[in-house]
């Protein structure tokens, strides 16, 4: 397993406060669980396509213990005022290698109090840039047709959309690597 890519850490000031944006790590499991419990049932349904009540330890492990050669997730952290390192996760975007070579699937969620400030776009851009530099040629995902904010965000980032046969409530979104990255 590759080392923790600490060089990908940055600070981001878009939401009227300074957040640390960095790759997720195994020690984030408790903070990710606490973040999950700050989401609304509606946000959880839009993200997981189901009324997920708990993140199992196994799922938390899969979401935080990554092979950074294959997958990536960036978290936005509101650092604790006391000491660095045990802040609150307020947003996460991830890219997971798919079944088809060069294809990866995205997911993104930010907590209610930081919505509408560009954090969703910023976290998505970080994982997309990482993807293009790590052999990803196409990023895909499924979005519920009722999920206007995510459809707008994806449109904003240049994703193309198409309907899935027999899946009225879901839209497939895909984005190909920019020409330079694809060269």
Residue 113 engages ligand COA in binding (rule: CB under 6 A): no
* Mask for 124-163, x = binds ligand COA (CB under 6 A): -----------------x-x---xxxx-xx--x-------
Chain centroid offset of residue 130 CA: 12
Show Cβ contacts of residue 133 under 8 Å, excluding neighbours closer than 6 positions. Answer: 181
**Residue 27 vs 155, nearer CB to ligand COA:** 155
Question: From the CB of 83, what's the least distance to ligand COA, in Å?
Answer: 27
Contact 92, 73 (CB under 8 A): yes
- Region of 71-79, 97-105, 109-117, 128-136 interacting with ligand COA (CB under 6 A): 109-117
* Mask for 42-61, x = binds ligand COA (CB under 6 A): -x--xx--------------
Contact 72, 134 (CB under 8 A): yes
For residues 68 and 104, give the distance between their C-alpha atoms in angstroms, rounded to a whole number: 13
């Amino acid at each position: 397993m590759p080392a923790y890519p600490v060089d990908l850490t940055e600070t981001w000031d878009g939401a009227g406060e300074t957040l640390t944006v960095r790759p997720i790590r195994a020690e984030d499991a408790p903070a990710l669980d606490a973040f999950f419990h700050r989401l609304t049932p509606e946000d959880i349904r839009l993200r997981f396509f189901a009324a997920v009540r708990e993140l199992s330890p196994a799922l938390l492990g899969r979401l935080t213990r990554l092979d950074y050669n294959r997958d990536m997730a960036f978290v936005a952290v509101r650092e604790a005022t006391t000491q660095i390192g045990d802040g609150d996760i307020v947003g996460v975007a991830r890219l997971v290698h798919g079944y088809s070579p060069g294809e990866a699937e995205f997911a993104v969620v930010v907590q209610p109090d930081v919505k509408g400030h560009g954090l969703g776009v910023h976290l998505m851009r970080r994982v997309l840039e990482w993807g293009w530099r790590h052999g990803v040629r196409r990023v895909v995902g499924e979005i519920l047709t009722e999920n206007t904010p995510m459809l707008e965000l994806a449109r904003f980032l240049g994703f193309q959309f198409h309907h899935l046969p027999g899946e009225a409530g879901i839209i497939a979104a895909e984005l190909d690597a920019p020409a330079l990255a694809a060269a």
